[in-house]
Amino acid sequence: MSNTGNIQKTDAETGFSGHFDKVGNDLPGDSTITQMRQDAIAQFNEKGLPTRQLENWRYTDLRFILKDAFAPLERAGSVTAAKLDEALGALGDIEASRLVFVDGYFSAELSADFSTMKNVEAMPLSRALSGETFSKVMKQAQPDLDDSIVALNTAFMADGAALHIEGDVEKPIHLVFVSSGEQQGLVTLHNHISVAKSAKVTLLESYIGLGQYGVQVNSLTNLGIAEGAEVNHIKYQAENLETTHLSTLNLKLDDKAIYHEHQFNIGAALSRHQHFVVFDGERAEFDMSGATLMRGTQHCDATLLVDHKLPEGRSREMVKCVLDDTARAVVQAKVIVRPHAQLTDGHQMMQSMMLSEHCEFDAKPELEIYADDVICGHGATSGQIDEDLLFYLKSRGLPDIEARGLLIQAFVGEAIEKIENEEIRDALTGLAQNWLAS
């Protein structure tokens, strides 16, 4: 594997058919970044891939699932603007400033309007890492997380989006990560986004897979939201069914910061979306909704850790899963309320609609509360299509397949309706309809 040194440990110790010993010098960054990489790879070497022995990974045993470590892709494949827009579907028609990365590398040819955005400083991470000031900022923002996937990302981060938002941004910022499918490989993406006081922005993040070959995607986003700022973040994951997608969001909220997120997942053979959310300010708000549509043998894991450190925080998590064939969905959400976080308001809801007798839904809501003046609750449900409602629709003349599609659309629609941007909301509704029609 390029960018790594000797392979030393055994498969049983690491879970891979090889092991990373050190990081080479051909990745971007100065001495500060190089030291971060070396520390991260040492952490990964110590722990290896996570297994079900770790509580947060009990339903997604990577050491069992991933037998091979792909070499990092050394070049971007060929993707035309027409192919990209076709793959994005209705999301490609949305008027937005666009930063595009092909096989993990920034593509200036496919990007548009990002350099002229008002109140935004934007550049590829590969360029930002070469700046001494940014390297210091990166070091300060790097998450102190005991997580092997985060460590692997830090060690091999090659490119991504570096954004600093100073004020209100009129158009959405669309970060597009596309895999050409021309070759197998490891794609390591690292996004660093800071939102200044009282700013407001809509972020649209799309992961698209073309071609026949799958990749191993490891994506990390560090997102800091300052006092009174508001971020609406929509993530669309539709990579091909040969792909493994591992993503991490490291989110910090200052006083009165607002973060609304929607995740829409229909792609990848294996995907894991983990959130580490810290309320570093009072009266902050975190609201996450998700719609997961899986069939075949797909496996999708959404794991969240929400840490209320200070008073009057508000958190909401709602995930809707539609499963068919032998697909499996995992939703884990742990909310911690610290002793000083009085008047916290937290709620979790996890729901699945199971279209087959052989699919599986694992729900694990948790509350860990150390304050006495809080309003917190959680719930989880799973079931099949309501036969009474189905009979009612069919009795009104709807064919069986249309009636079922309408009920499924209504089920996931509750999550999609929380998206503030009407264009994006309508686009995702259409994509959900396309999934049902197929």
Is the pTM above the cut of 0.75? Answer: yes
Residue finishing a domain among 263, 281, 299? 281
Only one residue has tokens 């990092």, namely 72
The residues that bridge with 378 in the sheet, in sequence order, are: 348
420 falls within a domain = yes
Structural domain includes residue 329: no
Is 366:93 a contact under the CB 8 Å cutoff? no
Same domain, 122 and 258: yes
Provide the token pair at 381.
Answer: 């449900």
Answer yes or no: are the C-beta atoms of 386 and 353 closer than 8 Å: no
Q: How far apart are CA 367 and CA 27, in angstroms?
A: 41
134: left (phi over 0), alpha (psi -120 to 50) or beta: alpha
Of 241, 259, 281, which one is at a domain's C-terminal end? 281
Residue 239: inside a domain: yes
What is the pLDDT, as a whole number, of residue 115? 80
Specify if 18 maps to a domain.
yes
- Asked if residue 314 is part of any domain, the answer here is no
Tally the domains of the chain. 2
Q: Which domain holds residue 100?
A: 11-281
Question: Has residue 373 been placed in a domain?
Answer: no
Whether residues 239 and 119 fall in one domain:
yes
Contact 19, 9 (CB under 8 A): yes
Any idea which residue has 């560090």 for tokens?
222
Pull the structure tokens for residue 382.
């799973």
Q: Let me know whether 249 and 398 are in one domain.
A: no
Q: Is the dihedral of CA 156, 159, 165, 170 positive or negative?
A: negative
pLDDT at 143: 66
Structure tokens at 271: 């995907």
Q: What pLDDT, on a 0 to 100 scale, did the predictor assign at position 428? A: 94
Q: What is the pLDDT of residue 35?
A: 86
Judgement on whether residues 277 and 399 belong to the same structural domain of the protein: no
Mean pLDDT per 10-residue interval, the chain, length 438 residues: 36 48 67 86 88 91 83 89 94 94 95 89 88 70 79 91 94 96 93 96 96 92 96 97 95 97 96 96 97 97 97 96 97 96 96 96 96 94 92 92 90 92 94 87
28's tokens: 């971007």
User: Is residue 125 in some structural domain?
Assistant: yes
How many residues make up the chain in this entry? 438
Residues 275 and 403 in one domain: no
| One domain for residues 271 and 398 | no
Do the Cβ atoms of 290 and 415 come closer than 8 Å? yes
Q: Could you tell me if 246 and 108 lie in one domain?
A: yes
- Structural domain contains residue 352: no
Final residue belonging to a domain, choices 232, 249, 281: 281
